[in-house]
Amino acid sequence: MSQAFILGAPRSGTTLLATLLDNHRGVYVSENARALGLVQAESELLKSIGPKGDVRRSPVERVVQALGRRNERYSRLFKHADVSSSDFRALIAAAAANQALAKGKQLWCDKEPNLIDHIPEISCLLPDSKLIHVIRDGRAVAASQRDRQYRDLYAAAHDWRRQLVVARFQGAYIGPERYREVRYERLLEDPETTLQGLCAFLEIEWDPEMLQLDRHADASDSQSYVGRKLDAGKSGGWRKKLSTKEQVRLEGLVGDMLIDLGYGLNHVDRRGPFRAHTPLQHLYRKQLAITRGLFRSERTVMKRRKLVKERQPLSKRVRRFVGRTTSLWVADSVLEAFRTHRRVP
């Protein structure tokens, strides 16, 4: 039983690809199994020395129970697993296999965008797993994150560039047998060819039912996160969302990566210069978005692949503002920003 992970920058098309794969008769797409938590749990397990607490339980069993208390998704994942195992990696592989087999599927798949910064860890945690990296035009990603996730436009573009550099470097290291890139625009323009290639990569048979988005009950709803059909026109929608001034600034910020990916530039010379944000500029842009959220009484969130508007009480907005501001400006976050800036050319 093999495993696959769909990763990518937020708003890059990972949910769409997960929906299409979920249509395959042999693929089980988990309800966001939070693999990042498993990576962190293994790190905590390796750091622990000697038994702690109940000596009758193995360290692995204690970690599994702690995960279950943290989120019920972990409880479902390990429901039929032998938690007395001393091999945490084998336990996760067996739990994923049991979850897929219970549904009559041959491939276990999870969508976890946040794994884009943890490719080496997940590739070691599940050595037989395959990673699918969804890539979308950075201008479209930034515009969508601003509209749907209320992020700062330029901070989102900066993060998109950084994540792509890191993920592509790490993907080249683990090799084409386990890492594959899927372009969002190509998926919309020629879904059948793109999905056939993906099936070959995952070593599963092509299933024409993958193209039937309307199989999902939520797809008939006007508030569905994923529409009823693949619309190639969506790939260029960012041009209407962004002003000319915003496009110029974005291309000056991430134009080198756009050129490298073959997207091209509309307003900036291909020869540059391209100037990424300094660490302090990036932190400042993030703080601006956090501050704006303090005055936003309503948010649009995704629940079960549907867009839902939620009222945000002032007390909740204040708690979020304090928590995110503290997290942003603590010493570790600032140091990490400087390290990242040095790593990314």
Query: How many CB atoms are closer than 10 A to CB 79?
Result: 12
Residue of 127, 108, 141 lying closest to 13 (CA atoms) = 141
Burial class of residue 71 (count of CB atoms within 10 Å of its CB; 0-12, 13-18, 19+)? middle
Token pair, residue 84, equals: 């007395």
Give the domain extent around 240. Answer: 2-26+106-277
SS3 content of the chain, % helix, strand, coil (to 5): 60, 10, 30
Number of domains in the chain: 1
Looking at the domain assignment, is residue 284 inside a domain? no
Instruction: Establish if 306 belongs to a structural domain.
Output: no
Could you tell me if residue 74 is inside a domain? no
Question: From the CB of residue 251, how many other CB atoms can be counted at a distance below 10 Å?
Answer: 25
**pLDDT value at residue 52:** 46
Across 11-32, average pLDDT: 87
Residue 188 tokens read as: 């919309």
Domain assignment present for 81: no
* pLDDT tens digits, one per residue of 200-234: 999 999 999 998 876 654 444 434 455 567 777 77
**Pairing mode, strands 130-135 and 2-7:** parallel
pLDDT of amino acid 1: 65
Task: Classify residue 269: in a domain, yes or no.
Answer: yes
Q: Would you say the C-alpha torsion 183, 214, 218, 34 has a positive or negative sign?
A: negative
Give me the residues paired with residue 307 across strands: 302
Q: Tell me what pLDDT residue 157 has.
A: 92
pLDDT tens, residue by residue, 259-274: 999 998 888 777 667 7
pLDDT band at 336 (very low <50, low <70, confident <90, very high): low
Task: Give the pLDDT confidence of 58-85 residue by residue, as tens digits.
Answer: 566 666 666 666 666 666 666 656 656 6
170 occurs within a structural domain? yes
Who has greater pLDDT, 217 or 286? 286
Residue 335 inside a domain? The answer is no
Q: What is the CATH number of the domain that holds 169?
A: 3.40.50.300
Tell me if 296 is assigned to some domain: no
In this predicted structure, what is the pLDDT of residue 33? 54
Distances (CA, A) of 339 to 162, 249, 319: 12, 24, 29
pTM for this structure?
0.79
